[in-house]
């Protein structure tokens, strides 16, 4: 606002001085009148509000210019404030209304000169004034286009930054969820196995010391394996770029041995055709098997479990079925994060997990994991 006021006062002073100078050149001397100079200055005064009401300011300058043409002699250069108003319209107004305003200003200037300045210099004056109209308007449009381009560029930069931040946050959330699932799967499985083996050792401690010692050896092996897996998983939090290693389906034997040590008969049917399996699919498959077998051990009360792993139609099919209590008295089998974790893991590689009661009783977990090009 202060800058616009200064511009308006500077142009007003220029117009007033030009008008007085013209009167002096005409030889009026002591007969110089102040009113024409004030009226010429009045043409520029609306410019102080040019950014607030650009079209209204243009109309005001045109009206005061007509009065200055009618009253002043010689005619002051009122085209300068008009050009400033047209430039502002081009910069701050919308393109359609700005073009209408420019056309109206050109017609108004032509009519003003026809009414109050028709003479030998009429054509020269019209061409000069219209040249200022076109030049100031074109400059305004150019500045407006430049500002719009810069604003658009900044907006795209802000949007890109926001997208990068959202992507980074999404990756952090996914990594946190992956670590939480790994810790849950590994720790839950290990603790279930240790608890079962400790109970077995306690039960035969007096009657079968060798059996108790075997159970203690299994506890030690399970705890060492669980700690190693936990260190690998948590190592991601300590070192950038480190990826926690996870076993694949080839380590299924270790999982089955834990169930057998707990007195559950496990039958494993695993297809081995020598074809490569994507590492991520192998990790997901192992975690699903680990969670499913841990649930059999902790919640089912089963005596027998069947595990099937096979390839079919470009996918890896995993089925874990037991003859336990299923949902009816599963002691929390349908609660917690275990089933949700299996479904999330499967979804991470484009697969799915279905759980529910088996047809002949018990409980079944069925996972389908796409193998992609490795199939």
Q: 89-106, pLDDT tens digit by residue?
A: 888 777 777 778 778 777
Domain termination site, one of 118, 153, 174 = 118
**Is residue 310 within 8 Å of 369, Cβ to Cβ?**
no
Interatomic CA distance for residues 194 and 268, integer angstroms: 22
Interatomic CA distance for residues 148 and 151, integer angstroms: 5
Whether 226 is covered by a domain: the verdict is no
Please compute the mean of the pLDDT values over residues 41-62 and round it to a whole number: 77
Q: 206-248, pLDDT tens digit by residue?
A: 788 887 787 787 777 777 767 766 776 666 566 554 544 556 6
pLDDT band at 344 (very low <50, low <70, confident <90, very high): confident
Structure tokens at 67: 């009065």
Residue 365: predicted pLDDT: 92
272: left (phi over 0), alpha (psi -120 to 50) or beta: beta
Interatomic CA distance for residues 337 and 340, integer angstroms: 5
Whether 96 is covered by a domain: the verdict is yes
pLDDT band at 273 (very low <50, low <70, confident <90, very high): low
Q: Which domain holds residue 61?
A: 2-118
Residue with tokens 């199939």: 375
Q: Quick count: other Cβ atoms within 10 Å of Cβ 186?
A: 23
Structure tokens at 194: 């240790």
Domain termination site, one of 86, 118, 150 = 118
Does residue 329 surpass a pLDDT of 50? no
Structure tokens at 319: 């089925």
Whether 232 is covered by a domain: the verdict is no
Q: 127-164, pLDDT tens digit by residue?
A: 877 888 888 888 888 888 888 888 888 888 888 888 88
Whether 172 is covered by a domain: the verdict is no
Q: Quick count: other Cβ atoms within 10 Å of Cβ 327?
A: 12
Long-range contacts of 46-50, Cβ-Cβ distance < 8 Å, separation of 24 or more: 46/8, 46/81, 46/85, 47/4, 47/7, 47/8, 47/11, 47/81, 47/84, 47/85, 47/88, 48/1, 48/4, 48/5, 48/7, 48/8, 48/9, 49/4, 50/4, 50/8, 50/84, 50/85, 50/88
> For all residues of the chain together, what is the average pLDDT?
76
Q: 283-292, pLDDT tens digit by residue?
A: 888 888 888 8
Residue 366: predicted pLDDT: 93
Whether 210 is covered by a domain: the verdict is no
- Judging by DSSP bridges, how do beta strands 352-357 and 363-370 pair with one another? antiparallel
Domain termination site, one of 118, 151, 183 = 118
Residue 330: predicted pLDDT: 41
The strands making up 352-357's β-sheet, listed across from edge to edge, are 265-270, 304-312, 315-322, 363-370, 352-357
Q: Look at residues 306, 310, 304, 230 and name the one whose alpha carbon lies nearest to residue 270.
A: 310
Residue 293: predicted pLDDT: 84
Q: 240-260, pLDDT tens digit by residue?
A: 545 445 566 667 777 787 777
Within its chain, how far is the Cα of 3 from the centroid? 39
Q: Look at residues 359, 248, 371 and name the one whose alpha carbon lies nearest to residue 306.
A: 359
Whether 152 is covered by a domain: the verdict is no
Whether 92 is covered by a domain: the verdict is yes
Does residue 32 surpass a pLDDT of 60? no
Number of domains in the chain: 2
For residue 275, the domain's CATH number is 3.30.565.10
Whether 147 is covered by a domain: the verdict is no
Phi then psi for residue 240, to 5 deg, are -65, 135
Reply yes or no: is the peptide bond before residue 74 cis, omega within 30 of 0: yes
Residue 337: predicted pLDDT: 65
């Amino acid at each position: 606002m202060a800058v616009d006021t200064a511009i308006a006062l500077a142009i007003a002073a220029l117009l007033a001085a030009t008008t007085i100078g013209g009167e002096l050149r005409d030889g009026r001397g002591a007969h110089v009148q102040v009113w024409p100079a004030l009226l010429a200055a009045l043409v520029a005064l609306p410019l102080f509000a040019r950014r607030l009401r650009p079209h209204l300011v243009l109309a005001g300058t045109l009206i005061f210019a007509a009065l200055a043409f009618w009253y002043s002699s010689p005619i002051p250069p009122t085209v300068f404030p008009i050009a400033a108003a047209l430039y502002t319209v081009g910069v701050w107004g919308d393109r359609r209304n700005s073009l209408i305003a420019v056309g109206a200003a050109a017609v108004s200037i032509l009519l003003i000169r026809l009414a109050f300045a028709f003479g030998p210099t009429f054509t020269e004056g019209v061409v000069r004034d219209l040249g200022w109209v076109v030049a100031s308007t074109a400059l305004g449009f150019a500045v407006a286009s430049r500002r719009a381009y810069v604003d658009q560029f900044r907006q795209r930069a802000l949007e890109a930054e926001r997208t990068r931040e959202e992507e980074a946050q999404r990756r952090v959330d996914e990594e946190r969820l992956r670590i939480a699932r790994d810790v849950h799967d590994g720790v839950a499985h290990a603790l279930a196995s240790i608890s079962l083996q400790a109970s077995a050792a306690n039960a035969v401690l007096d009657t079968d010391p060798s059996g108790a010692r075997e159970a203690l050896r299994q506890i030690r092996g399970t705890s060492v394996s669980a700690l190693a897996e936990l260190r690998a998983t948590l190592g991601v939090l300590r070192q950038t770029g480190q990826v926690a290693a996870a076993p694949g389906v080839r380590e299924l034997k270790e999982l089955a041995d834990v169930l057998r040590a707990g007195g559950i008969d496990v039958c494993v049917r695993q297809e081995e055709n020598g074809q490569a399996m994507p590492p991520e699919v192998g990790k997901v498959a192992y975690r699903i098997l680990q969670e499913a077998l841990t649930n059999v051990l902790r919640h089912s009360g089963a005596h027998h479990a069947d595990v099937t792993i096979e390839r079919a139609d470009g996918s890896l099919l995993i089925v874990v079925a037991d003859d336990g209590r299923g949902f009816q008295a599963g002691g929390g089998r349908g609660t917690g994060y275990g089933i949700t974790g299996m479904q999330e893991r499967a979804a991470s590689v484009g697969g799915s997990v279905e759980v529910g009661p088996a047809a002949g009783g018990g409980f079944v977990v069925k996972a389908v994991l796409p193998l992609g090009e490795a199939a």
